Structure 1
Amino acid sequence: MIAVPSSQVRSHFKEICDKVVNDVESVIITRTRGENVVLMSEDEYNNMMENFRIFSNPDIYNKIKSGIDQIENSKFSKRDLLDE
């Protein structure tokens, strides 16, 4: 994550937006009175919100964790999909 003064963001908005999207880089936009803001790509935002949703729901989190544990301990079986 990089920090950029708001004045620089105003004069280089397109370039900074391109960096955020292309380099998967979040940018802290610093302001003279504090109250900084963060600029991130929509994909990164959606990913973050999905992670919040998963981690805030113990049932979903435990199912995912259980599946990961089963794979790591080779306690799974491979099955073919049924054709409908």
Structure 2
Amino acid sequence: MVTAIAYSNFRKELKSYMRKANEDADAILVTNSDPKDNIVVMSASDYDSLMETLHIYENPYLMDKVQRGLAQVKSRQTIRHDLIEQEGE
């Protein structure tokens, strides 16, 4: 969900909006009188995740692996494995 907030209100409440972006995983659309100056604010971890997703979509080899995996799941050609716990965990 994207929250839209006017620039002046965003500036006044910057810390609370930063917390909201980080804690709620919400993107914040900061609007200005000139729509060309609008920006989107999101947490660094959400940004990193988005960039990783874009990287996968742009890489034909990785996208092929994802699509083959999805096809295996849809055709029920998967094998269930138990997790192996490492010593000291």
Between the two proteins, what is the percent identity of the paired residues? Answer: 26
Report how far residue 76 of structure 1 moved. Answer: 3.4
RMSD over aligned Cα atoms? 1.7
- Provide the TM-score with structure 2 as the length reference: 0.81
Paired position in structure 2 for 1:23: 24
CA 10–60 in structure 1, closer or farther in 2 if over 3 Å, else same: same
TM-score (norm 1): 0.85
Instruction: Give the C-alpha shift of residue 78 in structure 1.
Output: 5.3
Aligned to 1:45: 47
Structure 1 residue ranges without an equivalent (≥5):
none
Which structure 2 residue ranges, 5 or more long, are not aligned? Answer: 85-89
Q: How many residues align?
A: 81
**Aligned structure 1 segments of 4 or more residues deviating by more than 2 angstroms:** 76-81
Show the counterpart of 2:14.
13
Q: Deviations over 1:20-77 (max 9, x none)?
A: 1111100000011222000000111001101110011111101111012112212234
Query: Secondary structure at the residue paired with 1:27?
Result: strand
